[in-house]
Structure 1
């Protein structure tokens, strides 16, 4: 009788297949179990938080300061929720928490822990500083601590009554700068033809693609606003720290020589310069605060996190019958629907529809933090705002870090425009760009030929040289759009196009200069702009409601999951598949990707842009 038992090869394959099936089923079951636990954790009622008496408010901002959180894919948010500190901190949250705490008898003081703050621009730091000033006026102390304080971290620290620095740390104040890469040689080497059409001597957004260095005009106007912002920075610190005028510039100028005298002790250099009050290791410093205000089991001071505190205080607020709507316009202005962190004209108009349909809204405040973008999208947003104004709803614009070019375009319908002294604004001008690859293709042996019914037929193609007639038409279109821009501004500012042309030409101004030139009405922060909107609407009590894109039910659920500690289980299961890159290398790649990022912002259907590429707050 023949042996019918399976052979060794078949038995081996069968065993492997059974093993693979077992692993697959097991992994799916584990993943399902983790998700199930996450669901339960997300909906399980949590113990209510309570603010203890005699506590310190801990303010430890992380990442970049923003007016609006950037939209993040919900599943990615779950995966990354326990991987690192938040990449962004919302300025409004910081200001509200500090303002509430100033009048709260349970809060005895405030602690600024600044090591994880990346920056965000002096304009936003000024607004947070205003809230810290209010807190100090209540008679409560502010303590600040840092290990290696950057100049943006130190700006906030300077508001403290006591600044402590790690004995191995430093205060690295270097001054403001603005540097860009220039690509003309690279473009020439690639045999790419870059056709740029612009108006204004100072409209330098496209200079990196047609030059190898900064033009004299660009250098002139950028130096002007850069010096103004630096003057505000140094003057404010010298006033807060009671230092002689010019101390900060002297600190930078003599840093090398004085550091040599101190054998490289940067912390002692900061102490001697009066920038900090003490040099104590962070653990000891927290222990000393604990001795004064009460200690936790680990010896550090007892405190209450500002976000937890804010959630409690907001839950206790009773809505007023009248509402001031707040819409944040942050990022590049583009056509269509865009997620938070970008401004899509259709997305923005939907938010305006909510304002129009809400009978409780008595005024609208638009917070602009944008260097502009497409003219077509900017005009659509402007028209939407005009409809709001025509309904009798007052509009106040609050300019944040940047409100320039297209960002200024959408500000023109406002009854009032507010800016901070260090806001970057203006850049009233437009440009267009068109790339042709005829030389590059020819170098590769690819030629283009054909016929058309007119000189313009097939004239605007990437594989053909741009004809003189096509260039003339494109430039005339840019000139016309610039004329439209200055006429809009002139009408909004009750002046003439000729007068606006003298201060336009693409030139960038600080908020202080913009006030003097009549481009803005008042200097102040967002809270002051909201108060002014209430005056225009003739209401005394009101609720400020932020109008923003709503999350889908799935996004809301995933957001809840991401805030749960269970998200760490999901994240940890994927850690082994993540590959890290050194931060310096990441920054290098970001710099190299600048042209690609810029190109991705050029989405205007008419190919005309009111975009201030250089309008970035210095770090």
Structure 2
């Protein structure tokens, strides 16, 4: 692009030789206009805004740079002591896969949102490595901030703790109080310490839920329900005000089996007489009266704990056994996170891989973040395995109560297609692998569960809410014309016609027949035999093995060991297959590895935290929120209402 500049002609000088008289007068430039006050004001304001914008961007850049430097420096693994105690302090819920958290949210959070969950495989890896690590002298279990996660997940950790003890190393559990789940995990320890004002809170398992029929009737909401399976009770809370006899029957069966497993394991580990835990719970009032209300003394007398001590004495006892920390007046302990960072500095250079894909959460259509099972998301993970020539075996870890029938089938068929790779594919059931979770499991060469896994629930339902009565209450009516009997049938503001109801029910029945047929084919049984144990009935893993729905019982580690033997792998590495992060997510997540959250003003965080008042509305909004998450293209689901870890 060319630019032409205007140059005024040189002034004419008639005295110069050869100068000729100009033909016309030279053009005169107009004098500059005087700038007004408003012009000066707005120009100054514009310049000020530009300066402020540049200064703000530069400041933000410097802050982000500082955060990045701090994050990188703080996330670098620190040298560990020559000897130390491994400190196991799980926080939040025990999970097979951490729920997705937006990296930007992690960056702005004052607290660490990742403490809401503890990944079981990380804990198991650390304990098993520590069992063989000469630097690790003992293990201190601090379960006081663990919220639960189910007996099956605690059994996974428990197996590793047993392995640790078999190496001749001691485990001590310490806490001010123990909840039901916390005490179960603590029972694996050689010694359990309790604060002298503490409590062992064991109450038993219960399955109670809210029923919304009367509330929905008052709101004028009509739930059109369709199901196949006598025990398929997912929709009962929307259709009744109490539990049906069928639901009560099979709920009582599996919940009592889990409770028997819970009490039996503790009595075995603590060497207590059979029935001790039930006696402690059912006669707690009489026992407390004998100790004048001293719950810690009662726990000691009943041999539930080994020592009742103050905080100060507890600290002294730990220092005596594990040594004193260089950082303060506390025992010489190294946390799981720091320990894993140290042992992972030199990854295992094995070519052969046993891949593990975690399928955790509700099964829904499309792409979904970690913590949910999206049909398209799972397909991408399965194709990663298919394209990796180093993968010699695959374990699919299922922890799901089901969801969309269509999404379940999309995933199942992709697992079947993966068999072209000619590698063994085993299913490992976690706390729950029922309904749609079991639908996916049928694609595996072998199905493994734990005795306390909740599985089965082979049944199908469909649901469709309409709001015509709600609208009528406020004076809104719907009317019009259509070209067919089904035109406009599936509108929320119109009642569902009898013809449409028949169509949906036939679709549900068809999916149920398809479900029991694929189960029969996978388990090499007659369809009639599967129908008898299906009907939406929930089973424990132990019972499921008896009736042929499961091949073997064992933890995830047991499954990995078994499939490696099946694939004839003498050496291998275990790789958890995960969705690759985008460059933006990688960068933001790297910032959160340090203490970036401390840069955010506390008052700002408190203002956002005050919005938690909305949580009070959760129970009232639950019926609508549950239905909103359902996105099956046909509105047909294989999902289990009861499949929740007690």
Could you give the per-residue CA deviations for residues 384-431 of structure 1, whole angstroms, max 9, x where no partner exists? 000011331211000001000000000111000000111000000110
Q: Report if the CA contact (8 A) 1:57-1:107 is conserved.
A: yes
Separation of aligned partners in 2, 1:347 and 1:521: 28
Match of 1:250 in 2: 279
Separation of aligned partners in 2, 1:581 and 1:38: 27
TM-score, length of structure 2 as denominator length: 0.90
1:232 aligns with 2:261: yes
Could you give the per-residue CA deviations for residues 183-212 of structure 1, whole angstroms, max 9, x where no partner exists? 000111111211100011100000000000
Residue 317 of structure 1: how far off its partner (Å): 3.6
Match of 2:18 in 1: none
Q: Residues 24-423 of structure 1: matches in 2 within 5 Å? A: 30-44=59-73, 48-80=77-109, 82=111, 86-296=115-325, 297-423=327-453
Structure 2 gaps of 5+ residues are: 1-35
Separation of aligned partners in 2, 1:577 and 1:26: 27
Match of 1:497 in 2: 527
With over 3 angstroms needed to count, the CA separation of the structure-2 counterparts of 1:291 and 1:360, relative to structure 1, is: same
1:600 aligns with 2:625: no
Separation of aligned partners in 2, 1:573 and 1:603: 39
Residue 597 of structure 1: how far off its partner (Å): 3.1
Q: Report if the CA contact (8 A) 1:176-1:230 is conserved.
A: yes
With over 3 angstroms needed to count, the CA separation of the structure-2 counterparts of 1:471 and 1:158, relative to structure 1, is: same
With over 3 angstroms needed to count, the CA separation of the structure-2 counterparts of 1:43 and 1:112, relative to structure 1, is: closer
Structure 1 gaps of 5+ residues are: none
Residue 470 of structure 1: how far off its partner (Å): 1.1
Separation of aligned partners in 2, 1:112 and 1:46: 24
What RMSD in Å do the two structures reach over aligned CA positions? Answer: 2.6
Could you give the per-residue CA deviations for residues 265-302 of structure 1, whole angstroms, max 9, x where no partner exists? 21112111111111112343122211232112532110
Match of 1:609 in 2: 637
Partner-residue secondary structure (3-state), 2:633: coil
Match of 1:517 in 2: 547
Match of 1:534 in 2: 564
Between Structure 1 and Structure 2, whose CA radius of gyration is higher? 2
Separation of aligned partners in 2, 1:301 and 1:280: 16
Farther-moved stretch of structure 1 (603-612 vs 18-27): 18-27
**Of 465, 469, 473, which residue of structure 1 is paired with 2:499?**
469
Residue 457 of structure 1: how far off its partner (Å): 2.3
Q: Report if the CA contact (8 A) 1:287-1:295 is conserved.
A: no
Separation of aligned partners in 2, 1:436 and 1:130: 50
Q: Report if the CA contact (8 A) 1:51-1:106 is conserved.
A: no
Q: Report if the CA contact (8 A) 1:80-1:571 is conserved.
A: no
Residue 22 of structure 1: how far off its partner (Å): 10
With over 3 angstroms needed to count, the CA separation of the structure-2 counterparts of 1:280 and 1:17, relative to structure 1, is: farther
Residue 115 of structure 1: how far off its partner (Å): 1.1
Q: Report if the CA contact (8 A) 1:82-1:571 is conserved.
A: no
Residue 467 of structure 1: how far off its partner (Å): 1.4
Separation of aligned partners in 1, 2:48 and 2:604: 22
Q: Report if the CA contact (8 A) 2:71-2:595 is conserved.
A: no
Residue 606 of structure 1: how far off its partner (Å): 1.0
Residue 18 of structure 1: how far off its partner (Å): 12
Partner-residue secondary structure (3-state), 1:203: coil
Farther-moved stretch of structure 1 (445-454 vs 156-165): 445-454
TM-score, length of structure 1 as denominator length: 0.93
With over 3 angstroms needed to count, the CA separation of the structure-2 counterparts of 1:397 and 1:552, relative to structure 1, is: same
Q: Report if the CA contact (8 A) 1:371-1:612 is conserved.
A: yes
Q: Report if the CA contact (8 A) 2:108-2:596 is conserved.
A: no
1:446 aligns with 2:476: yes
Aligned residue pairs: how many? Answer: 610
Residue 349 of structure 1: how far off its partner (Å): 0.4
With over 3 angstroms needed to count, the CA separation of the structure-2 counterparts of 1:147 and 1:29, relative to structure 1, is: farther
Separation of aligned partners in 1, 2:617 and 2:288: 33
